[in-house]
Structure 1
Amino acid sequence: MALTVSILMLLAIAAPASGGGTGEPEGVAVAANVTYLTACPLAFYNTIVGKECPMLSFNLSNAGSSPRSIRAFSEYQGLSYRSVNTGTVSPGSSTLVNQTPSLLRNRTANISTITTVNLHYGVEVYDGTGWRLLEEQTVPVDVFPEDIMIWEAMDSEGNRVPLYEFVGVFVTPNSPAVRELLATAGRYADPAYDSRYSTYLLEHSLEGYQYPGDSIYEYRNYTALQVKAVYNALKYGYNITYINTATAVGGPDGYYLQRINPPEESIRLETANCADGAVLIASALEAVGIRPYIVTFPDHVFVAWGTDDTGKYIDALETTMLGTSDFEDAYAVGNAELLEYWELINNSEFEDDYLIVDIGEVRELGVLPMR
């Protein structure tokens, strides 16, 4: 069960009889409210560092009449270094301290299943002669291996914490498997599969957003043909088939999570669920310069892309139809799904349930490929 720690300490600091004290009257109130994420996601833990999604937040306040030096610390015992922040809180004010302890890579590399570790944290105040421990807590948190995408977690106060943008770490355009896939896809950009490859000068090549004309309709075809080449390479060259595994399931403490295979693993296994297929094709599209999107609905994920370099229009593909249907059918179904849920996607009331993750945008925010 998630814990919330609200600490209100009354520090009875008697003024010393002669010099050396703080001069603070008795009954100084120093308060600390500590909130932490109840999940530790290894897949994008390093990406969280520096973003507005810390693992812990200390809200420290000083209700006294003079400044107070306060120190906050935290660590995942046996899994991270200790994180320490020291600062001064002015009288009648508060400050927010965020921490994400640096992990010990040699300890996390071998975690392959959900593992429980202890999060140890505390707050100290300087009383004029030394640091006095106000409070410390040790609480269990769940550590998730690198192949687990946590779409949504909970903090220690029971609030939902959306983490959808971090699916971008699973989109890996620079992996060797994706480069090999693109080489194969080039062979499927052939008039034998669609005569338009010659019409659009895309024969045996994937050019990204290089269409020379100004027709929105023609540009859309130009881009879709490249997606078709990737789809056909997976369907005919790699024999990828859809496997129906749970897309997103509830985990401990209300996590909303999904195991996602990286592109090389989906290719090796010759299978992909909807999330695997979405990140696989998104990786290939990003590699050739086409802007990919990951579309997420409750219990379903699929891929979309910008039809041209303006970013005004997108198309979608139902990746679960790999192995059973032609590209044209998967393309039609993907766009139909996108249209069906478009109002929900653009309705802020459902923004945590129906949304489109713009991989180009999250890259600008610092969500980089895991490899």
Structure 2
Amino acid sequence: MQLSPIYLLLLTLASVFAFFYKNKMLAWALCVFMFVLAVFRGVEVGTDCLGYQKDYYIIKSVFDGNKIFHSFEIGFVGLIALFKQYVTSLYLPFVSVLFCVFWFGFLKFIKYYNIPLSLALFFLLTQSHYFYAYNIMRQMMALGLIVSVISWLYEKKYVKFCLYVIIVSMLFHKSSIIFAFLCVIHHYYHKCPKFFSKKNMYIAVILSFLFFFTADQTSMGMLASMAGLFYSRYEQYLLGSIGTGVETGYLFMGCQSLFVLALIFLYNNNERNKFEFIVYITGIVIFNVLSAISVVATRVAESFLIFNTVLFPMLMLDKTNKRLKWIRIVIVVVSLVLFFYRYGVKNDGLVNPYYFESRFEE
């Protein structure tokens, strides 16, 4: 077990400040602290951060995408080329810019829902989204760009939202295309209430967990063989991690699934947060299914799971729910347990060691 002092400090501050969520000064102090930690982190803090370094120095123009190890979309390659030409050839400032795009996009996302910033940041940390921005930089940058225009979805500007999602996905990270499915959910969740009923949510979560629990390497190997018929530079999302989904942990998956089932039971079908609730449950189902295939593949679910940063504060502040006390206890306790499990018990060094490094060193 390895738990960085930085994790403990972050968790302590986030927990205390979340308790005093009405204090905006504390909220912005936490926001700035988390931002500084991310922007001034060392090159080894985060898998993509270290992994992209060599490719960054190889890229000279938008046509160099075929010279590198990783599969970068053309927009990301072009962004690197332009940054090196007009800003600096140093790598770490570029990493900082990527985080800035995610961070300010996320803050705009939170502002739209008008929920306490301290609570949103607490769940951003405990639900792992914050450290995902260290480890999967391209995807989280694309996520930040898309959630920053979430108002288009609620204004039912579906075509505009989908076109934007497609453009961002094709330019920076193709997995973000799943955001377009939000239009379908938003359009139909009022029209088909029976389909999105609690009963069907229970069934979907249970079946997705059973799929994860019963899927074996043989069945996943067959799936990989079929996928191999269609060559793709992105096949490592499946073939490169085949059979490693169980590394996510039966204990973790079981705990998370039980938590979601409890959440469904405690939920009071409030129309003010029903859409966000459905999106989150959908994200859990996707996560469970993809966990049986590959650890890497589960990243696709992040586009939906990010909604728990607004959903959980909504649920905890929903005074119309007669089970408010229990829903608060369940959300906070399970969030803390999952945080310690991810970054304590199962910490594999993806973020550790944590240290500062000058922005002006190569």
TM-score normalised over the length of structure 1: 0.24
More helix by share: 2
Report the structure number with the largest CA radius of gyration.
1
Q: Which has the higher strand share?
A: 1
